[in-house]
Homo-oligomer: A and B are copies of this chain.
Amino acid sequence: MRHPAASVAFVALAAAAAGAGWPAPLVAIQEGAATKTKLVKQVPLGFSYETGVAQLAAEEQIDARVNPSNLEEWMYRMTRAPFYVGAPHNIENARFTAELYRSWGYETEIVEYEVLFPAPLLRSVEMLEPTPFTASLQEPEIPEDPSSGVDGKLPTYNAYSADGDVTAELVYVNQGIPRDYEELARMGIDVRGKIVIARYGGSWRGIKPKVAHEHGAIGTILYSDPRDDGYFQGDTYPDGPYRPGFGVQRGAVQDMPRYPGDPLTPGVGATADAERLTVEEAPTIMKIPVLPMSWEDALPLLSALEGPVAPPSWRGALPITYHVGPGPAVVRIQLEFDWKLETAYNVIAKLPGSELPEEWIIRGNHRDGWAMGAQDPISGHVVMMEEARVLGELAQQGQRLRRTVVYGSWDAEEPGLLGSTEWVEHNAPELSEKAVAYINTDGSGRGFLGMGGSHSLQTFINEVARSVQDPQTGVTVWERLQAARAVSGSRSAGQKDDISISPLGSGSDYTPFLQHLGIASLNLGFGGESGGGSYHSQYDSFEHYTRFGDPGFLYGAALARVTAKAVSRLANADVLPYQFTPLVGHIRTYRDEVEALVEAARAETETRNALLAARAFELAADPTKTSVPPGALGPVPFLNFAPLDNALARLAGSAASWDGAVAGALKAGRPEVSVELGAALIATERALIRPDGLPRRSWYRHQIYAPGFYTGYGVKTLPGIREAIEERAWDEAAAQIERVAGTLESLAEVLDEAVELLKPSL
């Protein structure tokens, strides 16, 4: 199962002809026995001509040294046994990771936190009416996949569900998100005192029991409909990559949009001696029992429902007519958990910078998995390891990075970003001062480079993507992504400008860095061609990943090249490679979106109220079915966007001034390395947070990006404004507009200061 190294080994010997001025010189490249030269047309963002040519030579070495065989070897070793929080193999993997980092020259420590990690003592779902049925709640072994037969796994469950023993009629609530309950209300169906069953999808899973509880339900069942990741999508495991009938999606259900991390220690590191809330006090623990199941377990329950036929978009791919209920199915859920503390082991590995050791480039991937976690998270973790190996070995050979690089192998991400969050909370002052950027990866696959993050890094990461070859097509990963966007119609054929990166919501370890501390972040990974349904099941195995995820680890190697170059450029740049004009462009778009939301709310209000006045809902409804007209809507005021527009105008000027100034300075030669300038640039993303955070969730401080209160992972940009509008809280929306305007003014001030600091080099 080993793969040969990439067929052509490039070894850059040196940056040659580092002569004066443009056009650029040649870099000598060793290709097999021959030495070739390569014309340097352009140096990376943030580099002067001289340092940029050296950087490109170093990157030739990165390209050459990345070895996919290492990824496969490490994944194989790390996925021999389950490695959830507290599992022996997770601790072994932490030690193994730490040893390797040490061997590559990193200052390495294992940092421990004591976190709440409930494990199930009792799990039972029975149908009492109309036909007795007991759910298996088991994922059986698949003979073709030895990993599925390995012992020691946690059973299938949702971490941070409440304990409970509830019996009630069942209601099918589609994806269980707020608009589904609006639809239920139109059907005259109330879930108070009922147990709801929701299919996965449409939001992060933790939203579903939260919204069910808000509507008065007393229990929640989550299941994986075959429409979403099973046979409707493609052949099921082991014939293909999709979720088999008995595959279950485990996962946490704490109220992460309020705060992630250990539920008992919000805002502070979960050290052994930290002050803790009790389980009863912890606001992010679900208030009702919730349990996931396979569709094979869910089918008898769904088949037993009567009542209205579910609306077309609610229907899955099971061979039944989907009914909503309530009942006649009556279901009993019994859940009991051991509410124990468990030790989470983060491996923290540092390579101190040669010139600017107080400026940190942080790189992370979680290491814990729900079961055999080959894809999630080991596929990304081994990428991070290989990248660290290459950079560490280059440093050992004398090519030290100018800034400090910190690697974080996070534990306890699966239950809710615990390892990263506790470390960030624990080290907040130092990180706030020193962190230049955080680069995250998580499970990765085959296909197209996904780029999400802070838009101050959009230009930077586009450049990196233009420098790495796609293993399948021979063009760069940027060109392949551009081709896909062109075919899908979101860009034009042959378009050359930067591809927009996605704003970040949540779902991986960038959240505490970006949204709590305001550290510019990126989240990177390949996907789009390795689709499947192993997510959070025991079938996310080495066998599955090497057949369907990234056979040969060629995309893993490509991702290691992307992340290694990104880390290396950030660490070596003369001036930190932020560009703010793209950020301004995106904020303008978000501003237009939120204004359009207000206009849409106004139009919806007028239409709905006119329909009610005309009795149209009543007259259009089938009188043989229950149909309740929606409620009348209150008036929508016009909001004053002028403060935001004024702040954006000022910020646009400051951004253009910085982006232009730095280009001029670097063209003029290598600028003075200035600690003050670095500090000012580090402060730019910090300027986008407000210490008291977002309304009703102060942990989330970023004013541009947040996970949605009712989406969980899905991003809400300008979240304070947007969610106030969505909730029709007009006064709050007006206040949030002012607040975001002030935030943008702060960033403009920081940028103006940075321009001043750069002037000596101009």
Residues on A lying within 8 angstroms of B by beta carbon are 226, 231-236, 240, 242, 309, 315, 317-321, 447, 472-473, 475, 479-480, 482-484, 486-489, 492-494, 529, 607, 610-611, 613-620, 622-624
Chain B residues with Cβ under 8 A from A320's Cβ?
Answer: 231
Residue of B232, B319, B479, B613 touching A321 (CB-CB under 8 A)? B232
A610 to B486, CA, bound (A): 9
* A321 x B234 contact (CB < 8 A): yes
Please give the distance in Å from A308's CB to the nearest CB on chain B: 10
A493 to B309, CA, bound (A): 27
Chain B residues with Cβ under 8 A from A617's Cβ?
Answer: 483, 487
Please give the distance in Å from A70's CB to the nearest CB on chain B: 24
Residue of B487, B607, B623 touching A616 (CB-CB under 8 A)? B487
Residue of B234, B240, B321, B475 touching A240 (CB-CB under 8 A)? B321
A675 to B489, CA, bound (A): 60
Residue of B309, B492, B619 touching A235 (CB-CB under 8 A)? B309
A468 to B486, CA, bound (A): 54
Chain B residues with Cβ under 8 A from A615's Cβ?
Answer: 483
Closest to A484 in B: B620
* A315 x B611 contact (CB < 8 A): no
Identical copies of this chain, number: 2
* A231 x B620 contact (CB < 8 A): no
Please give the distance in Å from A477's CB to the nearest CB on chain B: 11
Please give the distance in Å from A494's CB to the nearest CB on chain B: 5
Chain B residues with Cβ under 8 A from A619's Cβ?
Answer: 473, 475, 479-480, 483-484
Residue of B242, B317, B487, B616 touching A620 (CB-CB under 8 A)? B487
* A622 x B529 contact (CB < 8 A): yes
* B611 x A487 contact (CB < 8 A): yes
Q: List 7 tightest A-B contacts by C-beta distance, closest first.
A: A483-B619, A493-B610, A484-B620, A483-B616, A493-B614, A487-B620, A319-B319
A737 to B240, CA, bound (A): 53
* A447 x B622 contact (CB < 8 A): yes
A618 to B240, CA, bound (A): 24
* A610 x B494 contact (CB < 8 A): yes
Please, could you name 22 A-B residue pairs with CB atoms under 8 Å apart, sorted by A? Answer: A232-B321, A234-B321, A242-B321, A317-B319, A319-B319, A473-B619, A479-B619, A482-B616, A483-B615, A483-B617, A483-B620, A484-B619, A486-B610, A486-B611, A486-B616, A487-B611, A487-B617, A487-B620, A489-B607, A493-B614, A494-B613, A494-B614
Chain B residues with Cβ under 8 A from A447's Cβ?
Answer: 622
Please give the distance in Å from A612's CB to the nearest CB on chain B: 8
A620 to B472, CA, bound (A): 11
